[in-house]
A and B are shown apart, each in its own frame.
Chain A
Amino acid sequence: MTGNRAAAPEGAVRTTVDWQGWTACVAAVAGFVLCLLGWLAGGGGFSVPWAPSLDLRLSFTFDGLSALYGLLATGVGALVFAYGTRYLTEHLEHQRRPMLERWRFWPWMLLFALSMVGLATAQDLVLVFVFFDLTAVCSYFLIGFDRSDREARTSALMAMLVTVVAAVAMLIAAVVLYAVHGTFSIPELLARADSSATTTLAGALLAVAALAKSAQVPLHFWLPKAMAAPTPVSAYLHSAAMVAAGVLVIGRVHPLLARSEAVLTGMLVVGAVSVVVGGVLALRRDRLKQVLAYSTISQYGYIVMMYGIGGKEGTGAAAFYVLAHGVAKSALFMTAGAVTSATGQDRLSELGGLGRRMPVLAVASGVAAATLAALPLTVGFFKDELFFKAALAHGPVTAVLSVLAAVLTFAYIGRFWTTLFLGPPRGEVGTRSGLLVAPVVVMAAVAVAGGVVAEPFTRLAEDAAAVSAGGPVDLSPAYHLDARPENLMALAAWALGVLVLLLPRVTGRVSRAVAVAGERWGPKRAYEVVLHGLDRLSTVLHDREVRDLRTSIAAVLVPAGLLIGLAFAATPTAGAYVVGTVAGADWMILPLLVLVVVTTVVIARSRSRMAVALALAVVGFALAAQYALLGAPDVALVAVVVETMLTLVFVAALSRMPHDEPVPDPAIPLRKRRRKDALSGAVAGLAVFVSVWGFLSQPAPSSVSDEHIRLTPEAHGGDVVTVIVADFRGLDTLVEITVLLAAVAGAATLIRRGKLW
């Protein structure tokens, strides 16, 4: 704060202390401590009504799963935010942007962390949806932080569209489950849901939303694009926030998903495909952050696979994996950011041999890479041990897939680290900042600590898995110096990984082929085609809509009419229509009605305005006669007066107008236009016919009329209608008179050219 104030007079170029960033960092540390205390205290929760009429509650519970993701979001958050204070300052300086833009960054970062914690603790499916989308909104603004960069903007939009549109599936699942079980509360749903088609549908929908968020094939393409974000955002998004939100939701509703074997198998397949696609593509990427982005797809593929395997072993291994991956991936992203910041390069082909020039970073990121590659003495070894164990229990195919996954991971992360830090020196190393390296070191220390004493990690993962598995889970990762299958699988993975690493030409060809195929026929292309198609459709519709007044009105009325028509078609109408009886005076009314119909048609078809005026008078007088026959003398009298007046006014107006009749516009074919108008009129008439006939067929059982008739003598009147107008509904009449006066004043002003008097 003081630094900011002191520097202000000397110009905006000078670096100021990023107190917004440090505030966010302190908040994250406080959150971490709170989460830790909450976990050690055994959790707790509260639930207050949110929208009682919709059965929505703000219910939060801090359980094992919340502890894991809460600690991850706040812990990684604190380090990433500290890193970000330095990175963002450099970034803004580099782009010559004012330091004021920090305000466009840190609030979103903080909200990102907050919504992650909220998502981790929420126990109401709709609440989960809200936080789920909140992370997407935050990521939109953070990925698009460099708003002058077109790439950043399209990437932000892509990330938001893919995840938000897929998240709608979650809302649908919530509604489906509510329709069957009558609650949005997740614990209650988990207790009530049984193995049925509905549960399978809801589970599949939930999985779709979660898998899109966790960037699983085929909805993975947004994640590599999202590297357009500043590095702290990438580090956070890949390890603890956005992408983790998907598997968090899977972990939360896992007992529901586990009711259906099909959903579990689907997740297993999607996870395995993501592991392979992400891993193969990561093998030959050139940009640092892209290697890591494809690695994230692959790594979350592991986790989804484990949730697909299910059971206590699968969910336990998945929870442990999330933790270990979060630590390693955030460190690796921050490494990429530190390297790029020091050298100004972001491609592997232009970097190399940094080990001697940046030794601390090399060691720290080496530990992180080893964690990802599951080498012993890091927490990563245990993540793969548990993974292999769960895969072995599931079956031989899964076991082979798991070894393949580990081979790919070893190969791409090995290439990443060795290219960066070993070999001939390439790239200039400029200014180095300790603040960009320190968080990586801390993460590496955590990874090593976990590799030596796995107890805290194991307990956290056990507590989290207890929620997903619906019962206590016992994980016992340890080093065993014997030839058990897990160890053999790990050895095989390392050996094959080294082999892949030593055969860059073969793997390069495969990776490039997959990348080209993905570019040409992949889901990203489908996304672009759909987006452009929608854009074109919207333009066409808009052009049609704004052509003139008629089309603007039609744009509102036609869809509304279609919807009403659909609602009508869906309403049962059998027995709703009554023809009615004809008796007594009705035989005199019927010819009058025929006269009205005929005259109305004459009006519609008439060419002369005077004929229109006179025919309108005929309609009015015929209706007045009909009112008299219906036993409504008051209405008939007023109608006669009104019609007389109107006819006179109409004729007077016509007589004062220029006498030319409208000539048809040659630009528009008259017949076509008339046919269209006639069609619209016919549709309108039909709609009125259907609705008026319907409501006349269903008269109300009683009305207030009886009461009015009874009370009329007390109101000192004989004519009930008069008494209603003057007394019972007197206020209406007062308003009516006001309208009349306003109309008179308006008409008089118009006739007298703007002068009332």
Chain B
Amino acid sequence: MILAFALVAAVLFGSGAYLLLKRDLIRMVAGIMLISQCAVVTLLASSLTRGQAAIAVRPGDQVSDPLPQALALTALVIGLATVAMLLALVHRAIVVFRTAEQDEIAATESEHEAKLEQERQADREEVEGSPEDEEEPETARDAGRSR
């Protein structure tokens, strides 16, 4: 069984990693979900004892290890929270950028940044006067370097 659990965890994690590498944001979320499933499977597989549910235990009963179960509960709930949050984020991104491709989003981002930088540059030039003043120390430094 140990081998079987390890195999399942490996397949879950490997597929999750593969999906995370996709460009589609939705599939990335799916990858994260698979990886958190892998965590829960591993936690429960690490139980030291197997038996009946650890409810109303009498002395001498063979019960399942309760501690990994408690940890798995935490993992499940936290997984739910993060995935819900991620989905909301992805949803918002898709609505704003009209695409679920991370490359395209990055491209749009950098375009936007460049535009902002241009505006900032224009502002600075307006405040500080002509751009020639800025160039002078630059050329002086170049001359020093070439010498």
Contacts of A744 in B (CB 8 A): 81, 84
Option from B1, B23, B92, B101 in Cβ contact (under 8 Å) with A582:
B1
Kindly report which residue of chain B lies nearest to residue A628, judged by CB atoms: B53
User: 1/0 contact trace for A691-722 toward B, CB 8 Å?
Assistant: 01101110110111100110010000011110
Q: Say yes or no: A703-B48 contact (C-beta < 8 A), given A649-B87, A718-B56.
A: yes
A581 to B49, CA, bound (A): 13
| Inter-subunit contact B46/A150 (CB<8 Å) | no
A709 to B64, CA, bound (A): 11
Contacts of A678 in B (CB 8 A): 18
A425 to B70, CA, bound (A): 97
| Inter-subunit contact A681/B77 (CB<8 Å) | no
A603 to B28, CA, bound (A): 12
Cβ of B7 to closest chain A Cβ, rounded Å: 7
Chain B residue total in the interface (Cβ 8 A): 83
Q: Say yes or no: A712-B57 contact (C-beta < 8 A), given A600-B34, A657-B100, A684-B14.
A: yes
| Inter-subunit contact B23/A724 (CB<8 Å) | no
Q: Does A393 contact B (CB under 8 A)?
A: no
Q: Does A108 contact B (CB under 8 A)?
A: no
| Inter-subunit contact A692/B74 (CB<8 Å) | no
Q: Does A593 contact B (CB under 8 A)?
A: yes
A747 to B47, CA, bound (A): 34
Q: Does A424 contact B (CB under 8 A)?
A: no
Contacts of B78 in A (CB 8 A): 736, 739-740
| Inter-subunit contact A720/B57 (CB<8 Å) | yes
A contact face: mostly helix, strand, loop, or mixed? helix
Contacts of B48 in A (CB 8 A): 699-700, 702-703, 705
| Inter-subunit contact A600/B12 (CB<8 Å) | yes
Q: Say yes or no: A688-B9 contact (C-beta < 8 A), given A580-B2, A650-B87, A696-B46.
A: yes
User: 1/0 contact trace for B11-37 toward A, CB 8 Å?
Assistant: 111110111011110110010011001
Q: Say yes or no: A743-B82 contact (C-beta < 8 A), given A638-B77, A712-B57.
A: yes
Q: Does B127 contact A (CB under 8 A)?
A: no
Q: Say yes or no: A623-B40 contact (C-beta < 8 A), given A646-B33, A688-B10, A719-B55.
A: yes
| Inter-subunit contact B74/A619 (CB<8 Å) | no
| Inter-subunit contact B3/A693 (CB<8 Å) | yes
Q: Say yes or no: A686-B41 contact (C-beta < 8 A), given A603-B15, A709-B57.
A: no
Which of A638, A645, A712, A747 gathers the greatest number of chain B CB atoms within 10 Å?
A: A747
| Inter-subunit contact A631/B57 (CB<8 Å) | no
Q: Say yes or no: A609-B26 contact (C-beta < 8 A), given A150-B147, A631-B53.
A: yes
Option from A596, A639, A685, A693 in Cβ contact (under 8 Å) with B13:
A685
A682 to B106, CA, bound (A): 27
| Inter-subunit contact A612/B27 (CB<8 Å) | yes
Q: Say yes or no: A658-B2 contact (C-beta < 8 A), given A597-B7, A736-B77.
A: no
| Inter-subunit contact A740/B81 (CB<8 Å) | yes
Q: Say yes or no: A581-B1 contact (C-beta < 8 A), given A604-B15, A662-B101, A685-B13.
A: yes
A644 to B9, CA, bound (A): 22
Cβ of A683 to closest chain B Cβ, rounded Å: 8
A697 to B1, CA, bound (A): 10
| Inter-subunit contact A697/B2 (CB<8 Å) | yes
Interface residues of A in 607-621 (CB under 8 A from B): 609, 612-613, 616, 619-620
User: 1/0 contact trace for B107-147 toward A, CB 8 Å?
Assistant: 00000000000000000000000000000000000001101
Contacts of B30 in A (CB 8 A): 603, 612-613, 616
A748 to B72, CA, bound (A): 26
Cβ of A720 to closest chain B Cβ, rounded Å: 4
Cβ of A317 to closest chain B Cβ, rounded Å: 46
A740 to B80, CA, bound (A): 8
A604 to B98, CA, bound (A): 24
Q: Say yes or no: A654-B52 contact (C-beta < 8 A), given A635-B44, A743-B84.
A: no
Contacts of A702 in B (CB 8 A): 48
Option from A596, A721, A729 in Cβ contact (under 8 Å) with B54:
A721
Interface residues of B in 81-101 (CB under 8 A from A): 81-85, 87-92, 94-95, 98, 100-101
Option from A642, A653, A696, A712 in Cβ contact (under 8 Å) with B5:
A696
Q: Does A548 contact B (CB under 8 A)?
A: yes
Kindly report which residue of chain B lies nearest to residue A586, judged by CB atoms: B1
| Inter-subunit contact A732/B21 (CB<8 Å) | no
Q: Does A535 contact B (CB under 8 A)?
A: no
Contacts of A677 in B (CB 8 A): 18, 21-22
30 inter-chain pairs at a CB distance below 8 angstroms, sorted by A residue, are A580-B3, A580-B4, A581-B1, A596-B12, A600-B11, A600-B12, A601-B15, A604-B19, A632-B72, A634-B69, A642-B80, A653-B88, A662-B100, A662-B101, A681-B17, A685-B15, A688-B9, A709-B54, A719-B54, A721-B69, A721-B73, A736-B77, A739-B81, A740-B77, A746-B85, A746-B88, A747-B88, A748-B88, A750-B85, A751-B91
A interface, CB within 8 angstroms of B: 148-150, 548-550, 578-582, 586, 589-590, 593, 596-597, 600-601, 603-604, 609, 612-613, 616, 619-620, 623, 627, 630-635, 638-639, 642, 645-646, 649-650, 653-654, 656-658, 662, 665, 677-678, 680-682, 684-686, 688-689, 692-693, 695-697, 699-700, 702-705, 708-709, 712, 718-721, 724-725, 729, 732-733, 736, 739-740, 742-744, 746-748, 750-751, 753
Q: Which 9 A-B pairs have the closest CB atoms?
A: A685-B14, A681-B18, A689-B10, A580-B2, A631-B64, A693-B6, A743-B81, A684-B17, A747-B88
Beyond the given pairs A646-B83, A685-B11, A724-B70, 15 more chain A to chain B contacts, judged by CB atoms under 8 angstroms and listed by A's residue number, are A148-B144, A580-B1, A596-B11, A616-B30, A632-B44, A634-B53, A653-B90, A665-B101, A682-B18, A685-B10, A688-B14, A736-B74, A740-B77, A740-B78, A744-B81
